[in-house]
Amino acid sequence: MSPFDSDPVADRGRPLTREDVLGVRDVAELLGLPRSTVHDLARRGLLPARRVGRRWLFVRDRIEAALTPIDDADAWLPGPANADGRRQSRRSRS
């Protein structure tokens, strides 16, 4: 099951607040990454985000849910190689 399959926002049972919604700078600080990397990960769909105009917005619960598999040792195993020799991401496998 992918962290993108469940919806922690809907499961919360309360509306979003300003504290629940993060910008690129907040996510970069939270993850210890450069802002350019957060932009890239959001653009490629590797971080759950929504583009609103020119801004990327993130929901804190979804970022935390996306990071949960890091605790799973199996999450670090590489996926099978594609025909071109590149590895498939775990998210793109069926």
For residue 63, count other CB atoms closer than 10 A to its CB: 20
Is 62 inside a domain boundary? yes
Is 94 inside a domain boundary? no
* Of 7 and 59, the one with more pLDDT: 59
Residue range of the domain that includes 52: 8-76
pLDDT in tens, 66-91: 877 666 666 555 556 555 555 555 55
C-alpha–C-alpha distance, residues 59 and 74, integer Å: 25
C-alpha–C-alpha distance, residues 61 and 50, integer Å: 14
DSSP, res 16? -
Is 60 inside a domain boundary? yes
Is 93 inside a domain boundary? no
Helix (H) or strand (E) holding 56: strand 55-59
Is 13 inside a domain boundary? yes
Task: Kindly indicate the confidence band of residue 16, based on its pLDDT and cuts at 50, 70 and 90.
Answer: confident
How many separate domains does the chain show?
Answer: 1
Q: Which pLDDT belongs to residue 94? A: 47
C-alpha–C-alpha distance, residues 32 and 26, integer Å: 10
Question: pTM of the predicted model, to two decimals?
Answer: 0.60
The alpha carbon of 6 is separated from its chain's Cα centroid by a whole number of angstroms, namely 13
Q: Residue 58 is part of a domain; what is its CATH number? A: 1.10.10
Is 90 inside a domain boundary? no
Token pair recorded at residue 41: 């990960």
pLDDT in tens, 18-55: 889 999 999 999 999 999 999 999 999 989 999 999 99
Is 91 inside a domain boundary? no
